[in-house]
Structure formats: structure tokens, C-alpha cells
Amino acid sequence: MDSYALLRPLLFRLDPETAHRWTLAALDLTVKLGPFNPFKKHLPKLETEVMGLRFPNPVGLAAGLDKNGDHIEGLAGLGFGFIEVGTVTPRPQPGNSKPRLFRLPEAEALINRMGFNNKGLAHLAGNLERLGKRGYILGVNLGKNKDTPQEKAVEDYLVGLEKVYPLADYVTLNISSPNTPGLRDLQHGKALDSLLSRLDETRESLAQTHGRRLPIAVKIAPDLSPAQLEEQAQTFLRHHMDAVIATNTTLDHSAVQNLPHGLETGGLSGRPVFDQSTSVVRRLHNRLGNRLPIIACGGILTPEDAIAKFEAGARLVQLYTGLIYHGSGLIDLTLDRLKKRQMHPTGEP
Ligand SMILES: Cc1cc2nc3c(=O)[nH]c(=O)nc-3n(C[C@H](O)[C@H](O)[C@H](O)COP(=O)(O)O)c2cc1C
């Protein structure tokens, strides 16, 4: 039995946010152990180039676990090829009142309505400035403050882009979190068109200033009709977006409605979002081919789940809920599985 399997029953006795804080604090301690860090490992070589960036491996941390960039080095030490911090908003905000995070162990799922609790852009940028040389790719996931009026939402993303431009390898526009009123409206029609057009324009001028074009990814919801997806895909291409992250959490709780906490308000993640999320990846890939890389996220609980995302057309994958249920061993197992697949693409030993 791996050590996380032993630890999990203890962690699951704590309320989810406390367990989360303690685990990250323990991880920070391992960084201080330097060469004696028990997580230090020899990682298989699985380099891949996406968005013009060289990823040491295609398995990343999804946004939301390290919203403030307070634990980047500890998380990178677990073997991720890329880490996405945030969602960060221009100003600090407390998020929704607690409880706002629920475990549904029978379904290997979580429901959250955190509401972008974070310490704001200045704090996150300070953390990024202090980082030393990095052996991983760093993304920053940008959002809007809850009290920013909808018609000024674009300004929040622009402030974020400008602030982290010299510090990040890529940014993600989070327009798909279900816990900020009105946010998902930015995913459609004129609102999406003008958001992306302003960001692309500003990126062009920042590229002149910094001598480097920063890739922009857009993170979408799994709850989209085929027509909405089609419209989005066209808009992403028109405004030179560099990747799509598919997907965020779902509002469809039908798979868990009979379980304890199944009807809590918020976004559902983990096993129940896998199929819906993978079909978004497949649909987008069929439509876009190689014109826009897809970063798959949603319900990856085993290495086979990750393989299914690549087979549906993803170029990179991200984990969140899988780490809560299976610990960092999921990263190692997935990397091993990918290495074997690379060596034996037809499945033969
Ligand atoms: C507690 C929690 C907080 C999250 N916070 C964010 C966030 O701040 N920004 C974001 O883009 N996604 C956030 N997510 C969504 C995840 O990044 C991911 O898209 C989603 O959980 C599906 O992947 P999973 O099934 O592997 O967890 C959060 C998810 C959870 C469970």
C-alpha cells in the first residue's frame, strides 16, 4: 500500500479545507529538506512542445489548488511538468462563506463553491518574482473580482495579463468557474468576442515591450452545447488564442444527486465529470485538428484516464481531484504509463 493510502483516512477525517492546508504545509517542509526530500525522484523524459513552450512532461497541476502561488516549489517537486497557479483576481477577496468544499468519496468527486478566495495579484506576483530557476512550465490563471461590474470584467483580465506578463510562461483566462456570478456569460457571443479581442490587442503591445509573446489559454466549462462549442472554437482562432483548457467543473449534479452532499451548490469535479469533459476534448479536436492545442482536465483519477484524454486529442493533461483521492503517486504512475506508451505505441511489450 502506498503512503498516501495510509494517510488518506486521517486526512479525510478533517474538514476538506483544513486537510488541504495541512497537506500543503507538509509539502513546503519537504522543500526545506533539500536533497533529503522524500519526494525527490528521477522522472522519465517525456518532453513535449505546446504553445511554443517546452514542457518537461505533459502532466500538470490544474488551477485552484495553489491559488496564491504560495507552494509552487513543493508542488513542482512532486514531478509535474507544469503548474497552473490561481485563479487570481486583481484585488484580494475572501470567497464564499464556509463550508464551501465537500467530498463525495463514493463517487471520487468534490463539489466546491470557493468563489475565487485569493490574496490578489500583488501577492501572487511577489511570489513569482522570488522563484529561482525553474525546471517546469508556470501558468497563471486569471479571473475577475466578484464586485467588479460585468461591463468592466475585461479590465480585470487586462490588469492580470499586464502584471504577470514578465513572470509567467503562459496565462489562462478563466471564464468558466461557476462560482462567480456572471463569469460564464463571458463564454459566449459578443462578450467573448470583445474580451478576447482586447486581450489579444494588449498582448501584442506587451509583446513589443517585453520582446516575447506570452501564450494565452482559455478555460471552458463542460456544460456547453455543440453549437456553443463551435462558436467558441471560431472565436478562439479569430483572436489568436494559443490553447483551450477543457474543462472546468460541471453544474450537472445528476450523477451524484443521491449521495451525501450531492446537491450542494457549486461545481462538481472528479470521476463524474470525466465523460462530459472528455467528449468536449474530442469534439474540439475533431473540429480544430492541430490548429489549437487542447489541455484536458476533468476526472483524471488513474493513468488510463489520462491516456483516454490523449486519445481524444489532448496534448497536455491537468490533475486536481485525482490528487485528493490518490495522492501524488498518481503523477508517477501516469508518467510511467506514458513512458511505456511512448516506447510501445502499439501496446506490445
Ligand atoms: C476546490 C477546487 C477549487 C478550484 N478552483 C479553481 C480555480 O480557482 N480556477 C480554475 O480555473 N479552476 C478551479 N477548479 C477546477 C479545476 O482546476 C478543474 O478544472 C476541475 O476540478 C476538473 O478537474 P478534476 O476533475 O481533475 O478536479 C477548482 C476545483 C476544485 C475542486
pLDDT in single tens digits along all 349 residues of the chain: 577 888 888 889 899 999 999 999 888 888 777 766 666 667 888 999 999 999 999 999 999 999 999 999 999 989 999 999 999 999 999 999 999 999 999 999 999 999 999 999 999 999 999 998 899 999 999 999 999 999 999 999 999 999 999 999 999 999 988 888 888 888 788 999 999 999 999 999 999 999 999 999 999 999 999 999 999 999 999 999 999 999 999 999 999 999 999 999 999 999 999 999 999 999 999 999 989 999 999 999 999 999 999 999 999 999 999 999 999 999 999 999 999 988 876 654 4
pLDDT digits (tens, 9 = 90+) for 55-106: 999 999 999 999 999 999 999 989 999 999 999 999 999 999 999 999 999 9
Residue ranges per structural domain of the chain = 3-343
Nearest CA to ligand 1 atom 11: 63
Instruction: Dig out the grid coordinates for 311 from the structure.
Output: 486519445
Q: Which of 119, 249, 264 to mutate to test the pocket of ligand 1 (most atoms within 8 A of CB)?
A: 249
Report the separation in Å between the CA atom of 17 and the middle of ligand 1, taken as the mean of its atom positions.
14
Residues with catalytic roles: 177
- Which helix (H) or strand (E) element contains residue 244? strand 243-246
DSSP structure string for 258-275:
TSTTTT-SSEEEEGGGHH
Which residues are near ligand 1 (CB < 6 Å)?
62-64, 67, 87, 101, 110, 112, 114, 116, 141, 174, 177, 219, 248-249, 269-270, 273, 297-300, 319-322
Report the separation in Å between the CA atom of 210 and the middle of ligand 1, taken as the mean of its atom positions.
31
Instruction: Dig out the grid coordinates for 216 from the structure.
Output: 494565452
Report the separation in Å between the CA atom of 64 and the middle of ligand 1, taken as the mean of its atom positions.
5
Backbone phi and psi for residue 198, each to the nearest 5 degrees, phi listed first: -65, -40
Nearest CA to ligand 1 atom 5: 64
Atom of ligand 1 nearest to the CA of 141: 11
Task: Give Cα separations from 154 to 64, 203, 217, 338 (angstroms).
Answer: 21, 13, 15, 39
Q: What is the CA radius of gyration of the chain?
A: 19
Nearest CA to ligand 1 atom 7: 64
Q: Which single residue is written with the C-alpha cell 503562459?
A: 170
Report the separation in Å between the CA atom of 248 and the middle of ligand 1, taken as the mean of its atom positions.
6
CA angle 313, 319, 320 (to 5 degrees): 140
C-beta separation of 292 from 236 below 8 A: yes
Q: Which of 248, 251, 252, 324 to mutate to test the pocket of ligand 1 (most atoms within 8 A of CB)?
A: 248
Nearest CA to ligand 1 atom 23: 298
Report the separation in Å between the CA atom of 81 and the middle of ligand 1, taken as the mean of its atom positions.
18
Nearest CA to ligand 1 atom 22: 298
What CATH number is given for 3-343 in this structure? 3.20.20.70
First to last CA, the chain: 26
Nearest CA to ligand 1 atom 24: 298
Residue 211, helix vs strand vs coil = coil
